[in-house]
């Protein structure tokens, strides 16, 4: 059984000359790779393999495709085009089955789950319709509520309402025009009084 | 739109996507995403009396970039090919899709040949017999006068050597 260090040497170390004797570890790895190539050549590339083997297999594939091999099968091309159209127009839901799309193995959904998911939009739409219908029925059937209008402005005392400061400050004499700080203090004190009356009287600010 | 997608799917897959990814499953996924993006963004395509292929090709190349960006693995060969994309791509080209695809295939082939020349003769033969001519391991071993086990080692080393040479040649 080759160790991890042996594997690292095999993949990252210098490539031996063709006539150099192979170690048992290299022979074992070479055989594994040869079998991967075998499977790939018949279109049955295993999904699971080491990253290093994947990298080498990618190289082999590049060489093959550049030499004119690996055309896209007509059936596969059709399913890819179909899936692309479905994704672009239908919001990502291919019209072909997921099993026909080998490019998306991670997206395989169990059939039972898919059936359940298919009903989700209908269930949401049904519940929404029922709620809307119930609301309309309630509006029609329910007796009109008597609304007691309260004149809020009359209930809230003047000192707690928004109001102009003209009455508080009065006309500003020319010689006191620059004394704005005093006027602001006066207004602030007046508003603070109203606030305190309100909070100390048990009401919310 | 469907006839356009069907017409260009093969050249996109065979000369643009797969040679840069090396992985058929990923390549099919990228092709599907490329075609879907083309459908979604077809309004942005301005027809100027030339083929739509360069536009599709650019979308495909962008998708390939995305795949490499997301991949954490070191893939020098594929990266080397991706780095050359900018120089090769000419979206304003008036050439027909088949011609562009053929030129691209020839360019890829030349890069592969350049690297093959750098390999030892027996490595070159192993790759040629097994990956290009697609002979069985048994036949390859007989041609080279070795056991199957020895041929497996030869091919393994040959692909490693190719990867190393290609990455170094293009990365430098």
A146-187 pLDDT tens trace: 667 666 666 777 777 888 888 888 888 888 888 888 889 888
The yes-or-no verdict on residue B83 having pLDDT over 60 is no
In chain A, what residues touch B139 (CB-CB under 8 Å)? none
**Nearest chain A alpha carbon to B28:** A103
Q: Is the pLDDT of residue B147 over 80?
A: yes
Whole-angstrom CA distances from A64 to A41, A59, B113 are 10, 9, 12
Nearest by CB to residue A58, choosing from B75, B121, B123, is: B75
Share of chain B above pLDDT 90, in %: 35
Cα(B126)–Cα(B114) distance, integer angstroms:
16
Q: CA-CA-CA-CA torsion for A60, B98, B54, A87, nearest 10 degrees?
A: -70
pLDDT value for A102: 37
**Do residues B85 and B61 make contact, with C-beta atoms less than 8 angstroms apart?**
yes
Average pLDDT over residues A45-57: 85
Q: Measuring CA to CA, which residue among A57, A132, A199, A165 is closest to residue B160?
A: A57
Q: How far is CA A60 from CA A73, A80, B29, B32, B57, in A?
A: 19, 24, 19, 23, 23
What mean pLDDT is predicted for residues B60-71?
83
CA distance A16 to A21: 9
Contact yes or no for B10/A77 (Cβ under 8 A): yes
pLDDT at residue B1 greater than cutoff 90: no
Q: Which of A30, A103, A105 sits opposite B153 (nearest CB)?
A: A30
Helix, strand, coil percentages (3-state) for chain B, rounded to 5, are 80, 0, 20
In chain B, residues with a C-beta closer than 8 Å to the C-beta of A76 are: 28
Residue A31 has pLDDT above 60, yes or no: yes
Q: Residues of A93-124 as b/e, b for ≥16 C-beta within 10 angstroms? A: ebeeeeebbbbbeeeeeeeeeeeeeeeeeeee
pLDDT at B61 exceeding the cut of 70: yes
Contacts of A158 (CB under 8 A, 6+ apart): none
pLDDT band at B32 (very low <50, low <70, confident <90, very high): very high
Q: Which pLDDT does position A30 carry in this prediction? A: 93
- The answer to whether residue B157 scores a pLDDT higher than 90 is yes
Inspect the interface and report whether the beta carbons of B25 and A70 lie closer than 8 Å: no
Most A-contacting residue of B14, B20, B22, B168 (CB-CB within 10 A), to test interface = B22
**pTM as predicted:** 0.57
Average pLDDT taken over every residue of chain B: 81
**Alpha carbons B152 and A63: distance in angstroms, whole number:** 17
The span from the first CA to the last CA of chain B, in angstroms, equals 42
Band of pLDDT at residue A98, cut at 50, 70 and 90: very low
Pick from B134, B126, B128: nearest CA to B156: B126
Least confident of A35-44, A100-109, A195-204, B96-105: A100-109
Top residue of B73, B159, B166 to mutate, by most chain A CBs within 10 Å, is B159
Higher pLDDT, B87 or B21: B21
Q: Which of residues 97-126 of A touch B (CB under 8 A)?
A: 101-105
Q: Mean pLDDT over residues B79-95, rounded?
A: 50
Q: Supply the Cα-derived Rg of chain A in whole angstroms.
A: 41
Q: Does the complex come out with an ipTM higher than 0.85? A: no
The answer to whether residue A2 scores a pLDDT higher than 60 is: no
Mean pLDDT to the nearest integer, A81-93: 78
Question: With pLDDT > 70 as the criterion, what percentage of chain B qualifies?
Answer: 81
Q: Which residue of B has its CA nearest to A73?
A: B10
Q: Is the CB of B22 less than 8 angstroms away from the CB of A58? A: yes
Reply yes or no on whether the pLDDT at B141 is more than 90.
yes
């Amino acid at each position: 059984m080759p160790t991890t260090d042996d594997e690292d040497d095999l993949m990252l170390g210098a490539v031996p000359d063709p006539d150099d004797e192979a170690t048992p570890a290299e022979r074992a790895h070479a055989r594994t790779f040869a079998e991967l190539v075998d499977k790939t050549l018949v279109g049955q590339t295993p999904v699971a393999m080491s990253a290093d083997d994947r990298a080498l297999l990618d190289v082999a594939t590049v060489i093959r495709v550049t030499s004119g091999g690996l055309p896209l099968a007509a059936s596969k091309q059709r399913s890819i085009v179909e899936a692309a159209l479905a994704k672009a127009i239908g919001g990502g839901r291919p019209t072909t089955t997921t099993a026909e799309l080998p490019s998306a193995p991670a997206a395989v959904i169990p059939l039972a789950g898919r059936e359940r998911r298919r009903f989700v939009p209908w269930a949401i739409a049904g519940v929404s319709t029922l709620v809307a219908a119930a609301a309309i029925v309630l509006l029609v059937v329910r007796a009109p509520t008597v609304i007691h209008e309260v004149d809020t402005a009359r209930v809230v005392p003047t000192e707690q309402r928004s109001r102009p400061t003209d009455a508080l400050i009065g006309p500003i004499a020319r010689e006191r025009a620059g004394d704005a700080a005093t006027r602001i203090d006066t207004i602030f004190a007046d508003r603070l009084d109203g606030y305190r009356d309100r909070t100390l009287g048990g009401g919310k600010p | 739109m469907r006839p356009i997608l069907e017409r260009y799917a093969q050249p996109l897959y065979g000369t643009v996507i797969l040679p840069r990814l090396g992985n058929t499953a990923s390549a099919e996924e990228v092709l599907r995403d490329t075609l879907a993006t083309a459908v979604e963004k077809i309004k942005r395509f301005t027809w100027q009396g030339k083929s739509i292929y360069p536009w599709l090709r650019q979308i495909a190349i962008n998708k390939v970039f995305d795949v490499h960006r997301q991949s954490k693995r070191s893939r020098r060969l594929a990266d080397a090919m991706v780095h050359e994309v900018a120089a090769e791509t000419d979206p304003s080209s008036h050439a027909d899709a088949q011609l562009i695809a053929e030129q691209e295939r020839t360019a890829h082939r030349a890069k592969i040949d350049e690297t093959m020349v750098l390999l030892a003769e027996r490595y070159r033969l192993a790759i040629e017999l097994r990956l290009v001519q697609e002979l069985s391991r048994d036949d390859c071993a007989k041609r080279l006068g070795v056991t199957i086990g020895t041929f497996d080692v030869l091919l393994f080393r040959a692909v490693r050597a190719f990867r190393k040479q290609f990455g170094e040649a293009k990365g430098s």
